[in-house]
Structure 1
Amino acid sequence: MNPSKFQIKQISAQETYKVRLPVLRPGKPIDSCVFDGDILKSTIHFGIYLHDELIGICSFFKNSHPHILDKQQYQLRGMAVLEAYQGMGIGYKVLQFGEAYLKTKGIKTIWCNAREVATGFYEKCGYQIFGEPFDIPEIGPHYTMKRSL
């Protein structure tokens, strides 16, 4: 796909639901897409568009992990790309854009709770697993992963 056809921009929490629901919460009610902290001023949401269609999203929350000593850290949550566009580098593009933005704000570490099926994606993006796997009820097995910017 031609990279010039993509546009990445900051979006509202509500706009992320168009991608969160079918990818992260299929078959669940729309309110399952609302995350604690979504509307805080410190939370940042990015969307990647192909023409005028939102096809991928990621959200960054000012949240400290107890096992990360760096005080300048953010949590990545709600990373998702519509199924028809998965495997094309779309997720990497929007994630890289968000990380670059946070780096300009002095953030040193990004961490996330990655679904087991997504750990390979995050490893390709420079994230490393730390700690033991854990289960999130109704969603499944996860690993905590982190990356220094």
Structure 2
Amino acid sequence: MMTIIKEISYLETFLVRHPVLREGKPIESCHFDGDDLETTHHFGLYSNQKLMGIISLFQKNNPLFLGQKQYQIRGMAVLQQQQKTGFGKSLILYSEAFCMGQNVDLIWFNARVEAVGFYEKMGYQKIGKTFDIPDVGEHILMFKKNENE
């Protein structure tokens, strides 16, 4: 099975964002603020030339952290039938390597509560209390610092 990860357009992310993250909602709900900025990067994981998973990196600082250069992960998703196959881990590792190349101090994101265990295994830490994102669900802030700092 041939698997590759490459940069894609934000519109291409909708093929996975919609069924996984915004199921039953209008396609417009897949558009995130900043999707089309030059500093935003979208990556797609392809298996046998089919898009199976996506992740987006937004250059955005969270005031809770002191790191000068931060990226926020958003819209991390793998198609339902491909979950628990290692694709999500591959997308995270690829994104971390990309961020290292950009001299990023810290990666942060709002994790869905049911995904916290997955991210903890990847070395991310929780901070603060869970909070609700309307129409999406319970989340908690997670982060990882660049070990080379």
TM-score above 0.5: yes
**Counterpart of 1:103?**
100
* 1:34 aligned partner, one-letter code: H
Which secondary structure state, in structure 1, belongs to the residue aligned with residue 89 of structure 2? helix
**Counterpart of 2:135?**
138
Equivalent residues in 2 for 1:1-149, closer than 5 Å: 2=1, 5-149=2-146
Runs of 4+ displaced beyond 3 Å: none
d(CA) in 2 for partners of 1:131 and 1:120? 16
Give deviations 1:43-93, integer Å, cap 9, x for gaps. Answer: 000000001100000000011111001111110000000001000110010
Q: What TM-score does the superposition give when structure 2 sets the normalisation length?
A: 0.96
Cα distance, 1:147 vs structure 2 = 0.6
Residue identity over aligned pairs, in percent, reads: 49
Cα distance, 1:146 vs structure 2 = 0.1
Which secondary structure state, in structure 1, belongs to the residue aligned with residue 84 of structure 2? coil
Q: What TM-score does the superposition give when structure 1 sets the normalisation length?
A: 0.96
Unaligned runs of at least 5 residues, structure 1: none
Give deviations 1:15-49, integer Å, cap 9, x for gaps. Answer: 00000000000001110000000000000000000
d(CA) in 2 for partners of 1:34 and 1:99? 23
> How many matched pairs?
146
Which secondary structure state, in structure 2, belongs to the residue aligned with residue 38 of structure 1? coil
Unaligned runs of at least 5 residues, structure 2: none
* 1:90 aligned partner, one-letter code: F
Cα distance, 1:14 vs structure 2 = 0.3
* 1:139 aligned partner, one-letter code: V
* 1:46 aligned partner, one-letter code: F
d(CA) in 1 for partners of 2:8 and 2:105? 23
C-alpha RMSD of the superposition:
0.8
